[in-house]
Amino acid sequence: MGYSSVIFLGLLMMFSFPVARSWSKEGHILTCRIAQDLLDHEAAETVKHLLPQYADGDLSALCTWPDQIRHWYKYRWTSSLHFIDTPDEACTFQNSRDCPEDKCVAGAIRNFTSQLLHYKEGSSDRRYNLTEALLFLSHFMGDIHQPMHVGFTSDEGGNTIHVRWFRHKSNLHHVWDREIILTALADFYNKDLDMFQEDLQNNSTMGVWADDISSWRDCDDLLSCPNKYAAESISLACKWGYNGVTEGEALADEYFNSRMPIVAKRIAQGGIRLAMILNKVFGNHKQEIASPT
Ligand SMILES: *[C@@H]1O[C@H](CO)[C@@H](O)[C@H](O)[C@H]1NC(C)=O
Ligand SMILES: *[C@@H]1O[C@H](CO)[C@@H](O)[C@H](O)[C@H]1NC(C)=O
Ligand SMILES: *[C@@H]1O[C@H](CO)[C@@H](O)[C@H](O)[C@H]1NC(C)=O
Ligand SMILES: *[C@@H]1O[C@H](CO)[C@@H](O)[C@H](O)[C@H]1NC(C)=O
């Protein structure tokens, strides 16, 4: 291959993969591990059954799969499902306005939840691959909780807002996808993801969030709850993500210390709510209605 075709390919790749848009793999892994630990027996068995053999029963091993395949021809249609563009400065989410034809992360959660709902009934449509539905649902429940995944249209959820993160170049979207998580891992957990996970779980079961968990789980209608999660995200994006950040700004300790608790909480919420959905979708429905909460 000649030099010019190398350059051409390089340019082609730059333009076909313009921006990264997803919780980092660490964020997705944490969300999925927290969820899997909270599954009831039946849901746990079903998840294991649906996972491909090579995942070895570990949902988190495949929670980043939707990011890996989003640019493949066959899955191109999924690449707009990782986020929501809302009108600039509106700071609200309206499904009919911001998620036409359900082609956004809230709509994707609805779609894959309803595909999985048919699993129990044994009426699942053969067009649908329920392994893929499980992986998409698990991934998108992470993404919808990343505040900047429900961001303003013109800056692509902060992707076009260049900032410095401590000493290196980054952008506002990526700060929320990954930088805050990596800095927390390095500063507080000796780069040990297991320890980060344990701290999140401790804070959920007996720590700062213990009293909030049941309200996080509240969901009367599985197919409309994603709208609530999206509204929370854009509200957080306005209050904590965009607020006070200008193009070219250097973000460091102050931004990190005030935003890290938000990132941690959103990861935990994503995991706890993913477990809630999977337990409802795969669980014994009668028992669930009968059991007091
Ligand atoms: C739902 O998912 C299926 C694939 O599983 C896809 O063909 C369909 O277009 C999706 N629907 C929406 C509204 O995204
Ligand atoms: C379902 O999707 C997974 C992941 O893409 C794939 O490995 C598997 O072969 C598919 N199953 C069917 C029955 O097509
Ligand atoms: C989580 O809580 C347990 C029990 O109190 C404790 O032993 C453990 O060190 C805590 N983990 C972290 C990472 O703080
Ligand atoms: C857990 O709670 C403690 C005490 O509020 C806090 O210092 C820590 O950052 C929290 N950890 C996570 C991961 O949320």
pLDDT of residue 118: 84
* pLDDT > 50? residue 244: yes
> What pLDDT sits at residue 79?
95
Distance (angstroms) between ligand 3 centre and the Cα of 195 equals 9
Instruction: From residue 155, give the alpha-carbon distance in Å to each of 19, 63, 122, 246.
Output: 11, 27, 44, 12
Q: Is the pLDDT of residue 262 over 50?
A: yes
Long-range contacts of 75-81, Cβ-Cβ distance < 8 Å, separation of 24 or more: 78/108, 78/136, 80/104, 81/105, 81/107, 81/108, 81/136, 81/140
Which residue do the tokens 């986020």 mark?
83
Taking CA atoms only, the protein residue closest to ligand 3 atom 4 is 202
Give the C-alpha separation, 197 to 134, whole Å.
22
Instruction: Name the β-bridge partners of 250.
Output: 164
The domain locations on the chain are 3-8+20-282
Give residue ranges with CB within 6 A of ligand 1: 101-103, 107, 111, 128
What is the mean pLDDT of the segment spanning 157-186? Answer: 98
Which residue of 193, 199, 257 sits with most ligand 4 atoms within 8 Å of its CB, as the best mutation to test the pocket? 199
* Count of other CB atoms within 10 angstroms of residue 287: 10
pTM: 0.91
Strands, sheet with 162-165, edge to edge from the N-terminal-most edge strand: 168-171, 162-165, 250-251
Q: Collapse the DSSP code of 168 into the 3-class scheme (helix H, G, I; strand E, B; otherwise coil) and give the result.
A: strand
- DSSP classification of residue 242: I
pLDDT digit string, tens, across residues 15-38? 444 455 677 899 999 999 999 999
- The yes/no answer on whether domain 3-8+20-282 falls in CATH 1.10.575.10 is yes
**Tens of pLDDT, residues 132-144:** 999 999 999 999 9
Q: How far is the CA of 95 from the centre of ligand 1 (A)?
A: 17
